């Protein structure tokens, strides 16, 4: 199974969680789009948000750097508009859209200011932007090994290009000339096997980077697997939603 296939499977599971469905709906509300408006979903992945925007009669364009993701999105929703591109150079004209959405994207970007400059370029005056993402330093995982857990969470954050981007949404948007800037925090709480793959994946990445030993990795993941089997898993994940209006 390819890395992208595994990622798509994990995204599908996460996207179907009721709190994730509600958060996507909230992002559409914050975009303030009306039927006939246009929007871009940056980092669209397998295209679910684009399809949901289409259902709201919005002319949505999904953009992703991954050709494989775009191929999956086009296969799932053949009538929707998906394009290969990146956050720094969107395949759109100046002031072409009235909404800009980026979900779990900015922590992967080394230059958030440059990405927001591109958002400003493609947005029409008065257009709306919504940024959604987790702060990788604030994962809360229950464990009998709190010191090791702290090490794993912090180390995984440092393996991410911009792990604390979400806590910076307000200042990033203000610094990029947006107005009506607001930030919300939505906390996802997971207590069953649904997100076990994400929890163990954090430790796997840290072990692969040589930060924890094989013995530490085995012991920690075994505990989390046992917790999931006994209905004792606990993951709390704060998700930040920044919204603003282009000047």
How far is it, in rounded angstroms, from Cα 114 to Cα 125?
18
Give the tens place of pLDDT for each residue, 30-52: 999 999 999 999 999 999 999 99
Quick one: CA torsion of 33, 39, 44, 49, rounded to 10 degrees?
Answer: 30
Q: Please tell me the predicted confidence (pLDDT) of residue 4.
A: 65
Instruction: Specify the residue for token string 């979900």.
Output: 103
How far is it, in rounded angstroms, from Cα 143 to Cα 223?
8
Give the pair of three-digit tokens for residue 11. Answer: 């995204």
Q: Please tell me the predicted confidence (pLDDT) of residue 1.
A: 45
Quick one: CA torsion of 157, 43, 121, 131, rounded to 10 degrees?
Answer: -50
How far is it, in rounded angstroms, from Cα 71 to Cα 187?
32
Give the pair of three-digit tokens for residue 175. Answer: 């610094």
Q: Please tell me the predicted confidence (pLDDT) of residue 3.
A: 58
Give the tens place of pLDDT for each residue, 133-155: 999 999 999 999 999 999 999 99
* pLDDT lower than 70: segments of the chain: 1-4
Closest CA to 33 of 57, 66, 68: 57
Q: What is the CA radius of gyration of the chain?
A: 19
């Amino acid at each position: 199974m390819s890395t992208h296939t595994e990622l798509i499977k994990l995204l599908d599971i996460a996207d179907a969680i009721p709190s994730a469905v509600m958060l996507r709906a909230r992002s559409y509300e914050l975009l303030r789009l009306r039927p006939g408006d246009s929007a871009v979903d940056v980092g669209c992945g397998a295209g679910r948000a684009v399809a949901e925007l289409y259902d709201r009669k919005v002319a949505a364009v999904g953009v992703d750097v991954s050709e494989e993701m775009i191929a999956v999105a086009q296969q799932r929703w053949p009538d929707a508009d998906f394009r290969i591109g990146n956050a720094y150079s969107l395949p759109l004209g100046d002031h072409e859209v009235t909404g800009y959405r980026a979900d779990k994207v900015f922590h992967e970007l080394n230059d958030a200011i440059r990405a927001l400059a591109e958002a400003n370029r493609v947005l029409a005056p008065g257009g709306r932007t919504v940024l959604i993402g987790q702060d990788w330093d604030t994962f809360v995982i229950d464990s009998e090994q709190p010191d090791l857990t702290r090490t794993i969470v912090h180390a995984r954050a440092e393996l991410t290009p911009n792990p604390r981007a979400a806590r910076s949404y307000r200042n990033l948007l203000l610094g990029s000339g947006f107005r009506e800037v607001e930030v919300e925090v939505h906390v996802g709480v997971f207590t069953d096997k649904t997100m076990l793959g994400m929890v163990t994946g954090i430790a796997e990445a840290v072990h692969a980077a040589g930060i924890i030993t094989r013995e530490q990795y085995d012991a920690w993941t075994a505990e989390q697997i046992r917790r999931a089997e006994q209905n004792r898993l606990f993951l709390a994940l704060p998700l930040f939603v920044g919204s603003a209006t282009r000047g």
